[in-house]
Amino acid sequence: MFSKINQIFDFHQKSLNLYAKRQEILASNIANADTPGYKSVDINFTNELNKIIKSNIKNKNITLKKTSSKHLNGKNNNFFSPEIISVVTNQKKPDGNTVNMDRERIEFLNNSLKYQSNLAFMKNEIKNIMRILQG
C-alpha cells in the first residue's frame, strides 16, 4: 500500500523539483539583467519532465563509498540536471546581454503559480488519504 502512496507522490515530487529548478534559472536571468555578455537561459519543461518520468533508473553517477558489506546502497532518483538552453530573444543590448525583463518576470510569475497549483493538488491527495485512513 505504501508503495502506491509513494508512486502518487513521486510524480509530484519530481515536477515540483523541476519547477523549483526553473524558478532558480529565471531568478538568475533577472539577477543578471545588467550583466554584460550574459545570455538569457531556460529549460524546455516538457522535454525535461518527460525525461524524468521515463528514466526511473537510479542515477549511476552517484555512488556511496562503502567500507563494509552491511552498508546500504545509495539511492538517489531525485538527482537530475536539466539541459539548460539559451533563449532566442529579439532583445539585444549593445553589451551582449539578451535578457528580456518582461518575458522573465512573466515566466517567473507563471512558474511560481504552476508550482503552487502542483502543491495544491498534492495537498489534496494527502487530504484524501488521511480521510480514508481515518475512516
Point out which residues bind another protein (CB under 8 A): 16-17, 20-21, 23-25, 27-39, 41, 84, 101, 105, 108-109, 112, 115-116, 119, 122-123, 126
The grid coordinates of residue 106 equal 512573466
**Three-state DSSP state, 86:** strand
DSSP string, 6-68: HHHHHHHHHHHHHHHHHHHHHHHHHHTTTSTTPPPEE--HHHHHHHHHH--SPPSS-----SS
Minimum CB distance to another protein, residue 70 (Å):
30
| Closest CB to another protein among residues 30, 58 | 30
Give whichever of 24 and 44 is closer to another protein, judged by the CB atom: 24
- Residue 133 backbone phi and psi in degrees, to 5: -65, -35
Please report how close the Cβ of residue 62 comes to another protein at its closest, in angstroms: 17
Specify the residue, 45 or 115, whose C-beta has the smaller distance to another protein.
Answer: 115
For residue 94, the minimal CB distance to another protein (Å) is: 14
Which of 81, 100, 77 lies closest to 24, judged by CA?
81
Select 17 or 76, whichever has its Cβ closest to another protein.
17
